[in-house]
Amino acid sequence: MTAYLLGRFVSLALSLVAASLVIFLVLEIVPGDPASFMMGINADPQAIAALRSQLGLDEPIHLRYLGWVAGLLHGDFGMSYTYRVPVADLIAERVVISLPLTLYALALSTIIAFPAGIIAAARRNSATDVAVMGATQIGVAIPNFWFAMLLVLVFSINLRIFSAGGFPGWEAGFLPAMKALTLPAVALALPQASILARVMRSSLLDTLHEDFMRSARAKGLTRSQALWRHALRNALIPVLTIVGLQFSFLLAGGIIIENVFYLPGLGRLVFQGITQRDLIVVRSVVIVLVFAVIAVTFLVDVAYAIADPRLRRHGR
């Protein structure tokens, strides 16, 4: 187990180094000079050159990469070209919205998907199964921004239960903040829950056909005992993979939903960074997202090892 985790950890570190290099190089190739963008179209070339040296853009590329990485290790992401504030501060104030929103959506998705998938698989071809599969089909098909607007229409404008957008900040209290995140979380969770429920169902159905399920029944277990005791844990591996992927997707992919609900999250920050050639912000947000994705992948790997003893090769 230790060797397995150590191995995963080394691969995590290597992935981060590789990712930082790729991110840095790709953004170097991207056309558009931040300095000339900031100074406007009619700027004096000398002023642009001065700004470039002020921003450190005239240094050799490898020094800039090393400087950036060294800064990252200290938590210093550099200064935003356009906002003129430390990027770390910008990211910090966005992460406190995006991360809770992601976790909220993921929790909702799992809470809906697991029971739905399990019931559908246990009662295959029944009316329940057909209903669950039909509902998930719709859930996958509906664009989430449209569903978000529908939620606003029903719960904010007609029923006046939730506000239509904005975020009061965590200093306003836990419950008001969570309330503000509820509609976005539901909008984000619906398609994810639909996908997850389908994966859960098919994975469980595959497992139900395994030979050891027949052994379990021959022992005298009822159908549902066999499902809970033997099928579920075996069916979990592919489901965990999807949950890991969904986390990564939700963290950065919430940009449209953030726009619908006027939430100042990471997605909006990176979008603004791209349009304003604030490449240092883009770079920093992307590396933070990469780190999150790699960290979650690591957690999923740990979960695999817990769920499946065959991965713990050197356990004893």
Partner 1 sequence: MTALSVSGLTLAIHGTPILSDVDLTVGAGEIVGIVGESGSGKSMTALSVMQLLPHGSQWSGSIKVAGNDVGAMTETELCGMRGRDAAMVFQEPMTALNPVQTIGDQVAETIRIHTGTGRREALALARQTLDRVGLPADRFPLDRYPHELSGGQRQRVVIAMAIALRPKLLIADEPTTALDVTTQAQILDLLSGLVREEGMGLMLITHDLAVVAGLADRIAILQHGSVVESGATRDVFAAMRHPYTRALFSASAHVPSRTPPPAADGPPVLAVSEVVREYPQPRRGLFHRPPRFRAVDGVSFEIARGENVGLVGESGCGKSTLARAILALDPLDGGEIRLNGEVFSSAGDGPRMTQRAGVQVVFQDPYGSFNPRHKVRRLVCEPFHLLGSPPRGAELEARMLRALEAVGLSAGDADKYIHEFSGGQRQRIAIARALIIEPSLIVLDEAVSALDVSIRAQILDLLAELSGRLDLSYLFISHDLTVVRAITDRVMVMKAGRIVEEGPTTRVFEDPQHPYTRSLIAATPSLAAALAAPADRRAPSGRRDA
Binding site residues, partner 1, CB under 8 A: 3, 6-7, 10, 210-212, 214-222, 225, 229-230, 233-234, 307-310, 313-314
Whole-number minimum distance, CB 301 to partner 1, in Å?
Answer: 16
Between 54 and 225, name the residue whose CB sits nearer to partner 1.
225
Query: Given the complex with partner 1, which of 168 and 315 has the nearer CB atom?
Result: 315
The pair of three-digit structure tokens given for residue 212, joined into one six-digit string: 């050891």
Closest distance between partner 1 and the C-beta of residue 195, in Å?
Answer: 24
Q: Which residue's CB is nearer to partner 1, number 7 or number 166?
A: 7
Closest CB to partner 1 among 3 and 30?
A: 3
Nearer to partner 1, 61 or 219 (CB): 219
What are the contacts of 129-137 at 24+ separation with CB within 8 A?
129/201, 132/197, 132/201, 133/198, 133/201, 135/194, 136/193, 136/194, 136/195, 136/197, 136/198, 137/194
CB of 293 to partner 1, least distance (A): 24
**Residue from 250, 256, 257, 264 nearest 96 by CA:** 264
Cα–Cα distance between 47 and 245 in angstroms, integer? 46
Residue whose CB is less far from partner 1, 45 or 220:
220
Spell out the residues 6+ positions from residue 140 whose beta carbon is closer than 8 angstroms to its own: 191, 194, 195, 198
Distance separating alpha carbons of residues 212 and 218, to the nearest angstrom:
10
In the bound complex, what is the minimum distance in angstroms from residue 13's beta carbon to partner 1? 12
Q: Give the nearer residue to partner 1 in terms of CB position, either 172 or 214.
A: 214
Q: What is the smallest separation between the CB atom of 93 and partner 1, expressed in angstroms?
A: 39
CB of 228 vs partner 1, minimal distance in Å: 12
Q: How far is the CB of 311 from partner 1 (least distance, A)?
A: 10
- Measured from the CB atom, is 12 or 307 closer to partner 1? 307
- Least distance between partner 1 and beta carbon 234 (Å): 6
CB atoms within 10 A of CB 211: 7
* CB nearer to partner 1: pick between 64 and 312: 312
Smallest gap from Cβ 128 to partner 1, in A, equals: 17
